[in-house]
Structure 1
Amino acid sequence: MTKDTAIITGGARGMGLATAKVMAADHHIVLTDVDDKKLATAVKEIESTGGTAEFVVADITARAEVDAVFAAAATAGGLRAVVHAAGVSPHMASAEKIIEINAVGTINVTESALTVADEGFAVVNVASIAAQMVPGIMIPKRAFRHASTDLDTFRRKLLAAAGRTGRKMAAAQAYPISKAFVVWYSADQAARFGATGARILSVSPGSFDTEMGRIEEQGGAGKLTEFAALKRFGRPEEIAELLAFCASAKPGYLTGVDILCDGGTKAGMGLKEMIQLARQA
């Protein structure tokens, strides 16, 4: 039986790899990331459980490289879904890199996806609870609209917003801004995808037991679990099941929304707790 194909960005590890393993049950998987050795290992893991996979090394901040990933998927045939899990957090990169990878990278992946979107196609962009943990006044939504018209202005305005509290805190501010953009952009693009019968949405994970999650444990990810209904880190396979479901054909009327998967963290936090967490971070 011929399988549909799915692209997973950030597929060498963490949520991306966990999602690839779930989707490999009924999809041929095209993984992309920047580390060829980890990608090769990820492909072997998928194949060891009976799935089929290949990888393409690509930097999502370069549109031409993203297009090459989609070209490879087109060769495989039947491209039906994209789970865009690639991203970096405050302790992994500068504010500039965070904006470039998380925000501009999402634009590149989404625009490439739109060129092949058709009936039943789906894009799931991974955002973050961080997008919902900062006051709205800190999010430069008016600048988001430049994403479709002027990327240089878009970058400049997002970086300016990230630097309002000083250079030292710029990366910490750039992260929620970039993820708020992912949420906004996924909703903003829903009509364009809908015109072809396709879907696009975002999922916002809370604190998960991934390499990135543990890197950020002392920067707030660990503290968040103290406010959660489920006082633990989420497991990669738990978010993977949600991402895979959203990308599947089953929720065919689900588009233009963000789904928060945080173990009940936001439900346990008010403004006082958010301010307390921000000060500690």
Structure 2
Amino acid sequence: MEFEGKSIVVTGGSFGMGRACAERFAKGGGSVLIISNDQASVDKAVAEIGGRTTGFVGDVRDSKAMQAAVAEAVAAHGGVDILACCAGIQRYGTVVDTPEDVWDDVLDVNLKGIYLASKYAIPEMRRRGGGAIVAISSVQAYASQAGVAAYTASKGAINALVRAMSLDHAGENITVNAVCPASIDTPMLRWSADLHKGDMTQDDMIAAWGKGHPLGRVGRAEEVAELVAFLASDKARFITGADMKIDGGTMAKLGIVLPE
């Protein structure tokens, strides 16, 4: 019950890694506000997670919505202690063939969403004497696939923003860290699998991607949630400005191998 008495805001909290994080915080006794732009998924998540879980339907790209969401967390749960920024989208394309509106959407959801949620959550954390922010980034902040220019740019920027925020707010007892997963079995990964599977099944495509990880599989959302929960907990109060990989060994592996 390490989150007993804590008020937690989770953006993108009704799907994938965000949903797993919301479940983990609630399991730890926290009061959780889930933010998503999809009413049905928010209602479903709130009902299934239970406990002191509430929902807010809003767009992380919209300043007024994020301000209202944080105000809702304060009204419902007394303040804000932890912010988990999990909202994100994936789109494919080079800088040449990515439409400008798609570029803007990716950067707005993945990066601006963290800026706006933090902008309104941090003053509430100050009132509580400190807090923790954890942002979901990606291993593509370090190395990139081909054809994901907007997505990779957004993830590299998240890591840079986390470093800046960690310095700006260290004196206020607010820690800021990034979690950088490789392939994780989420609705977004399955959407990508559908795009690329060809004659394969969705599960076969996911399994094939998993073989690219040294551990031989893709990760699970609940595994990411455990790392997020640790970084948000009192056990991690001396960790800030970090970007932590959770990637099944992916970034430890060079593509060049010795002949057998």
Deviation at 1:63, TM superposition (A): 1.1
1:12 aligns with 2:14: yes
What secondary structure, in the 3-state scheme, does the structure 2 residue paired with 1:250 have? helix
Match of 2:235 in 1: 250
1:205 aligns with 2:190: no
1:42 aligns with 2:34: no
Deviation at 1:94, TM superposition (A): 2.0
Between the two proteins, what is the percent identity of the paired residues?
A: 29
Any conservation in 2 of the 1:126–1:204 contact (CA below 8 Å)?
yes
Q: 1:110 to 1:224 in 2, by over 3 A?
A: farther
Of residues 235, 259, 266, the one that matches 2:251 is: 266
Q: What's the CA shift string for 1:219-278, capped at 9, x where partnerless?
A: 9986653332211111111111111111111111010110010011111234x69xxxxx
Q: What's the CA shift string for 1:166-218, capped at 9, x where partnerless?
A: xxx5xx20000001000110011112221211111111111001001122233
Match of 1:61 in 2: 61
Q: What's the CA shift string for 1:134-178, capped at 9, x where partnerless?
A: 39xxxxxxxxxxxxxxxxxxxxxxxxxxxxx9xxx5xx2000000
Any conservation in 2 of the 1:8–1:20 contact (CA below 8 Å)?
yes
Match of 2:133 in 1: 123
Any conservation in 1 of the 2:89–2:106 contact (CA below 8 Å)?
yes
Q: What's the CA shift string for 1:92-126, capped at 9, x where partnerless?
A: 99222101111211211122222222334000011
Match of 1:143 in 2: none
Match of 1:103 in 2: 111
Of residues 206, 212, 231, the one that matches 2:216 is: 231
Q: Please, which moves more after superposition, 98-107 or 199-208?
A: 98-107
Any conservation in 2 of the 1:46–1:53 contact (CA below 8 Å)?
yes
Match of 1:188 in 2: 164
Any conservation in 2 of the 1:3–1:78 contact (CA below 8 Å)?
no
What letter is aligned with 1:32? I
- Correspondence 1:46-195 to 2 at 5 A: 46-47=49-50, 51-75=51-75, 76-90=77-91, 94-118=102-126, 119-134=129-144, 169=147, 172-195=148-171
Deviation at 1:67, TM superposition (A): 0.8
Q: 1:269 to 1:113 in 2, by over 3 A?
A: farther
Q: 1:212 to 1:68 in 2, by over 3 A?
A: same
Match of 2:35 in 1: 32
What secondary structure, in the 3-state scheme, does the structure 1 residue paired with 2:82 have? strand
Distance in 2, matches of 1:254 and 1:16, equals: 21
Distance in 1, matches of 2:161 and 2:181, equals: 17
The unaligned stretches of length 5 or more in structure 1 are 136-164, 274-281
Any conservation in 2 of the 1:183–1:202 contact (CA below 8 Å)?
yes
Q: Please, which moves more after superposition, 89-98 or 173-182?
A: 89-98
TM-score by length of 1: 0.77
What letter is aligned with 2:58? A
Distance in 1, matches of 2:40 and 2:228, equals: 25
Distance in 2, matches of 1:3 and 1:192, equals: 26
Aligned residues: 235
Distance in 2, matches of 1:112 and 1:173, equals: 29
The unaligned stretches of length 5 or more in structure 2 are 94-100, 198-204
